[in-house]
Amino acid sequence: MQDNGIHWRCTQKRSNANDCFSDWADVKAVVTQTSLTFVDLASIPKNVMLYTDEHEWSSWSKIGDSVLHIELRRWADIMVIAPLSANTLAKIAGGLCDNLLTSIVRAWDYEKPIFVAPSMNAYMWRNSFTEKHIMAIDEFGINLIPPVSHGESGTGAMAEPSFILSTVRMFLESRRKASTSSSRT
Ligand SMILES: Cc1cc2nc3c(=O)[nH]c(=O)nc-3n(C[C@H](O)[C@H](O)[C@H](O)COP(=O)(O)O)c2cc1C
């Protein structure tokens, strides 16, 4: 099977096109207002629709109109948040939903996988808030792709995009195999 819809928050670390989810699936990207500062919009593949908080409101004018975060949570088979900031992690753990990204997560159907790949300063990663928030999202069934070492400063850098992609693909493959073998028995 192909074409799993994936949402992801844009990553600064997409240096290699082969690492790109859009080579493998239909992708819609959601960016937070702050992450727009870091994203090179020209690096987003042409076939990837990019959504900001403005789209949430510009696509709605009256009761009865479709609501973007609900449409996107319905459309996607998988959600990948990469990089996940400490702020968005805290918001998800606490159930806050004050932008498009966190509204999709808050409305998410947890039968469908979500992966998060945190990226933050090593002090932030070691902070006890982070531990609490990671435990909270683990309880919801959100899959963590752990950060890696920044070098001397410690752990906190986002995992390599190729590793994120292979983790997600392996997860889906093993789930498909499990469902195929259970449907045979
Ligand atoms: C230069 C700069 C780099 C930052 N890098 C990170 C980062 O890697 N991880 C992180 O969690 N926050 C980082 N921050 C702080 C976030 O930008 C801030 O918490 C912001 O509110 C996150 O917004 P968002 O979660 O809506 O994307 C950085 C801030 C600045 C000024």
Q: What angle do CA 176, 185, 181 make, to 5 degrees?
A: 20
Q: How far is the CA of 5 from the centre of ligand 1 (A)?
A: 27
Residue list, ligand 1 pocket, CB within 6 Å: 32, 34-35, 85-88, 119-120, 124
pTM for the model stands at 0.90
pLDDT of 7: 55
Question: What radius of gyration, in Å, describes the C-alpha atoms of the chain?
Answer: 17
How many angstroms is it from 85 CA to the middle of ligand 1? 6
- Each residue's pLDDT tens digit in the chain (185 positions)? 334 455 555 444 444 444 467 777 889 999 999 998 888 888 888 889 999 999 999 988 899 999 999 999 999 999 999 999 999 999 999 999 999 999 999 999 999 999 999 999 999 999 999 999 999 999 999 999 999 998 878 999 999 999 999 999 999 889 888 888 887 76
Nearest CA to ligand 1 atom 5: 120
3-state secondary structure 27-41: EEEECCCHHHHCCCH
> What pLDDT sits at residue 9?
52
Torsion sign over Cα 33, 112, 14, 2: negative
CA 119 / ligand 1 centre spacing (Å): 9
Residue of minimum CA distance from atom 4 in ligand 1: 120
